Amino acid sequence: MDEKEKITKTEEEWKKELTPEEYRILREKGTEPAFSGEYYKSKEAGVYLCRACGEKLFSSDTKFDSGTGWPSFTEPMNRENIELKEDISFGMRRTEVLCKKCGSHLGHVFDDGPQPTGKRFCVNSLSLKLDKPN
């Protein structure tokens, strides 16, 4: 993604556009409680967009039931639309997943997912917005 295509807003602007809960997850790298989100058990078809900027992030075709209580995917729709970052917070070594376009926090990716990728993209429902086909 071209630097020019990226969205840069001040935290004050994000605060006005997002609900306090969305802001805490997306901009402050929070995590919603397991089994609390709107999408963890959803089997509806569609494209999951970034709730902050609308970028296409994950397809329902790659969604699987991980049993964790968070929406889980085997891969992003386009590797170019996400950014991976090492996260050593809370005494763990994890890989954070961010929306590349707006820099918002989505969740983490782990190596214990099902085939064909073996990856588990574990994403907050509050970071996503399901766009259903008409």
Binding site for Fe ion (CB under 5 A): 50, 52-53, 55, 99, 101-102, 104
Distance CA 117, CA 109 (A): 12
Residue 63 or 100: which CB sits closer to Fe ion?
100
CB of 114 to Fe ion, least distance (A): 26
Nearer residue to Fe ion within complex by CB, 100 or 119: 100
Q: How far apart are the first and last CA of the chain?
A: 28
Is the CB of 60 or the CB of 104 nearer to Fe ion?
Answer: 104
How near is the Cβ of 101 to Fe ion at its closest, in Å?
5
115 CB contacts (<8 Å, ≥6 apart)?
Answer: none
CB of 82 to Fe ion, least distance (A): 9
Q: What 3-state class would DSSP assign to 88?
A: coil
Catalytic residue ranges: 122
Beta bridge pairs of residue 58:
48
